[in-house]
Amino acid sequence: MSDFDLPRENGYSPAPDYTQPLLQISLKQRQRLLGRLTFLYGEAVAEQYWPELERLLKVHDAHKTPKKKVHNGHFHPANRFTQQDIALITYGDILLSETASPLATLADFLECTSGLRGVFNILHILPFFPYSSDRGFSITDFKTVDPHLGSWKDIESLGERYRLMFDGVFNHASSQSMPFQEMLNGNPNYQNFATAYRSPDELTLEQRAMIVRPRTSDILTQYQSINGPIWVWTTFSPDQIDLNFTNPKVLLEVIDTLLLYIRRGADIIRLDAVTYLWEEPGTPCANLAQTHEVIRLFRDVLDIAAPQVALTTETNIPHEENITYFGNGYDEAQMVYNFALPPLVLYTFYQETATELSKWVQTLEYPSDAMTFFNILDTHDGVGLLGVKNILSEQQINFIIRCAREHGALISYRTAEGGVEEPYEINSTWFSALNLDSEDEDLELQIKRMVASRSIALVLRGIPGIYLHGLVGTRNNIETVLKTKVKRDINRAVIHASDLKLDLKNPESRISQMITQLSRLLDVRVSNKAFHPNGEQKVFHLDPAIFALLRISPDCEQHILTLTNVTPRRCQVSISLEKLGVAGIYTGLEDQSDSEPTTTDKPFCAIPQDNYWYDLMGRRGWRIVDNQLNVTLAGYDVAWLIPLIELEQMIE
């Protein structure tokens, strides 16, 4: 029986058990949490609200089973993620069936589709709560499951098979949510739930010009309250009311919700749009110090209450700002969306050169073994452009936009500092972004291009995430966009399970071929420890057509050289074992490289001609000749090469 066949235990009881010893928060932990609150609200307010934060932590701990407490005590952060972690990103209702709830239909698809069972062990279900707009991101009730999708029972059932990523949409709430409605009703308990003004002029033109946000609509939206009209802060849309984190009651309510999600099975909390969490007129209202402090507070809370649960920040901003959400490597997010990757990969395939991508990958830093990147290509939104703002030139970014438009993509804009509009996001499915609908290309070539692009996200150090529409190769859904007038709906089509099953039964269909080809890649990835997120990576510039990356397992016992041809043309590359930094290991020769030793000094064999590297994807061997590894790749080929001796050791 595989690990996948064994149901995971939640470890939380429905009701708290106060017969157990209560959680004891150490003096050091208390001082750290109080320090966070003091930074945000001042010493007096911090002392006032500390008892409530302590109570929330103790109640949560009382829900834990004794076995869960023991498990938490033995958890080590470096073991949080492995090469077996690959996330599937999906809405709860992308797949619809006439005979089952959407969540049950999703579970059936993952467990019954050949090639998929066991390759995804993280499931990111985009907001599954009741909502009023923005496809789930304008939540009316943060603590219940949308009855159209299913129930908490469905979520917990999925949690028995997958590590679950929940969305913490804590930046804003629906205008129809109870707290905001109570604020409009004049309920004093919700007086400062949102940032509101008696006049729109209270937010001056100078202050407005400083605000950075991913929309071009007015920052303030008028609502009628019991005391007259008010103008409310709305970063994203008039229906999405920003939560006022300058009110400590809001912070504590969010922490209570965070802990509820953990008890309901969350292994990872995605902090949606956290960039804009804290508003302060006279600043850009993005990436503020208070926002980072709130994330550190969340991290401290989880370190006490649920150390195995990870925070993931979704911050679609320039790369150098994005990585600040790692903090020092131990005090903020354990995982950060790698938003520079998707536009760089598009540029790579549009220009048919891996040069810029390779140079950027060489700059990636990993401050600790307790953090990593979430390597995505496509998401439910689109391909953000801000991630490469200071990596690619304006001309190069405009080139990406021009090519994407030729492929049928739409472009969304945002308000930058100074009130200027700039391109923010490419709205397209990943398949259409790479493949022209009008091009008379063979489907096999288009799928090879898709798989080649996906391989880059799979080999990079980090955790790969794949959006369901990218998995099945969906084309742009212009028809829905014309109806809804929402550009992002181009990549959010609903798929009927009956149609999907018919396509899967047809080996010639696009969906069937996509899953067949990608599942091979995924299966090899999860089976080899060289792809562990704490394993080293080394870039090689062999040819502009080839993205070449060597992955080394944390124990230095496995090496996989990954080669991706980003062009439709045949290419031959050659690399010496000295350049790889492994000559003494694989040939019995002295290692002439300047790199630090990465493995033991035990030679595999003394005769280079007797050495082979085996391609795990192409399923063929390549001989070492004159201490050189020579590989020929057809257009969009992917080769993952491992020394034959290491392959033999895996078999023994």
Q: How many CA atoms lie within 13 A of 503 on its CB side?
A: 18
Cβ neighbours of residue 59 closer than 8 Å, sequence gap 6 or more: 16
DSSP tally for the chain: helices H, then strands E: 22, 28
Rounded distance, CA 7 to CA 1, Å? 11
Handedness of CA 39, 192, 128, 147 (dihedral sign): positive
Rounded distance, CA 278 to CA 242, Å? 9
Handedness of CA 112, 115, 117, 123 (dihedral sign): negative
Handedness of CA 225, 231, 237, 243 (dihedral sign): negative
Cβ neighbours of residue 571 closer than 8 Å, sequence gap 6 or more: 543, 545, 546, 565, 632, 633
**What are the strands, taking DSSP E only, across 517-594?**
536-540, 546-552, 559-565, 571-576
Give first-to-last CA distance, the chain, whole Å. 20
Cβ atoms of residues 414 and 384 within 8 Å: no
Which residue out of 85, 242, 272, 615 is catalytically annotated? 272
Cβ neighbours of residue 353 closer than 8 Å, sequence gap 6 or more: 544, 545, 566, 567
Give the strands of the sheet with 628-633, arranged side by side. Answer: 536-540, 546-552, 559-565, 638-643, 612-615, 620-625, 628-633, 571-576
Q: How many CA atoms lie within 13 A of 498 on its CB side?
A: 4
**If DSSP codes are grouped into helix, strand and coil, which group holds residue 503?**
helix
Cβ neighbours of residue 596 closer than 8 Å, sequence gap 6 or more: none
Helices (H), 185-334: 205-210, 248-263, 289-305, 319-322
CA geometry: angle at 125 spanning 119 and 126, to 5°? 140
Rg (CA), the chain: 25
β-bridge mates for residue 631, sequence order: 573
Active site residue 272: yes
Cβ atoms of residues 126 and 380 within 8 Å: yes
Residue with tokens 């491992």: 642
Rounded distance, CA 359 to CA 396, Å? 15
> What positions carry a catalytic annotation?
272
